[in-house]
Amino acid sequence: MEDLIVRYVSRIVVPFVQLFGLYVVFHGHLSPGGGFSGGAIIGASMILYALSFNLAAGTKKVSHDLSLILESSGGLIYAGVGLAAIFLGANFLGNKVAGIPLGTPGNLFSSGTIMIITLGVGIKVASTMITLFYSLIEGEQKTDEHC
């Protein structure tokens, strides 16, 4: 696709979409939103970028290895937070009981581990969205070669 307008508009829009996605992820414990919605927004921004330029440009920004690492680390952050609670003497995924300070409700840094978990979920969802898109597109391209 070689559309100048689409390229310029997407180049302007993508950073703002990503910023909004980050906002949704980081305010998951304060307002509607959270890891899944924010991650989906960030992932969609990368999909938009890859669509309006091409796949090669997209993979240049987020390579396969990077999305692989991000995908694994997202899940590992979640599990790691859960296991950390066990080391602190509480049950799996314990929050306040594990002695983690909760902060003042309404502040950005509050609610203990929930924000870290949301961040992990956000990373996971965003990278999964990107990986899904890449793999579907690549499968499609292989089909075209076959025919």
Partner 1 sequence: MSAAHHLPALAIVVPLVIAYLMPLFDRWRRGWCTPAALAALGFSFAASLVMAWQVMTHGPFSYQMGNWPPPWGIELYIDYLAVFTALTMTGVSLIVLVYGSRDLLHELKPHLLGWYYTLYLLLIASMVGMALTNDIFNLFVFVEICAIAACGIISIKESRECLEAAFKYLVLSALGSGCLLLAIALLYMVTGHLNFTFIAQALPEAMRLYPNNILAALALLLVGMGVKSALFPLHVWLPDAHSSAPSPSSAVLSGLVIKIYAVALLRILYQVFPDSIFEVTPVLTILLVMSSLAIIVGSMFAVVQEDIKKMLAYSSIAQIGYVFLGFSLMEISALTGGILHMFNHAMMKAMLFLAAGAFIYGTGVRRLSDLKGIGLTMPVPAAAFTIGALAMVGIPLTNGFISKWFLVLGALRGGQTFFAVVILISSLLNGFYYLPIIVNAYFGEPQGAVAEPKRLPRLMQAPLVILGFGCLLFGIFPSLIIGLASRAGQALLGM
Partner 2 sequence: MNIAEILLRLHQNSYYFFAIILFVIGFHTMLTHNNLIKKVIGMNIMDTAIFLFFVSIGYIRGGRAPILEPGADHLYVNPLPSALILTGIVVAVSITAYALSLIVKLYQHYGTIDAEEIIRLRGGETS
From CA 103, how far away is CA 11, in angstroms rounded? Answer: 38
Sign of the alpha-carbon dihedral angle for 26, 32, 38, 39: positive
Residue 29 binds to partner 2 (criterion: CB under 8 A): no
Q: Which listed range, 13-21, 61-69, 85-93, 133-141, lies at the site for partner 2 (CB under 8 A)?
A: 133-141
CA distances from 100 to 15, 77, 86, 103, 112 (A): 34, 16, 12, 9, 6
DSSP state of 53: S
The reply to whether 68 sits near partner 1 by the rule CB under 8 A is yes
Asked if 132 is part of the footprint of partner 2 (rule: CB under 8 A), the reply reads yes
Q: How far is the CB of 41 from partner 2 (least distance, A)?
A: 14
The reply on whether position 101 binds partner 2 by CB under 8 A is: no
- Binding flag, residue 135, partner 2 (CB under 8 A): yes
- Sequence-distant (≥ 6) Cβ neighbours of residue 141 within 8 angstroms: 55
> Which stretch, 12-20, 37-45, 55-63, 70-78, contacts partner 1 (CB under 8 A)?
70-78
Question: Which does residue 68 touch among partner 1, partner 2, none (CB within 5 to 8 A, set by kind)?
Answer: partner 1
Asked if 63 contacts 70 with a C-beta cutoff of 8 angstroms, the reply is: no
Catalog residues that contact partner 2 under the rule CB under 8 A.
Answer: 31-32, 34, 36, 105-106, 125, 132, 135-136, 139-140, 142-143, 146-147
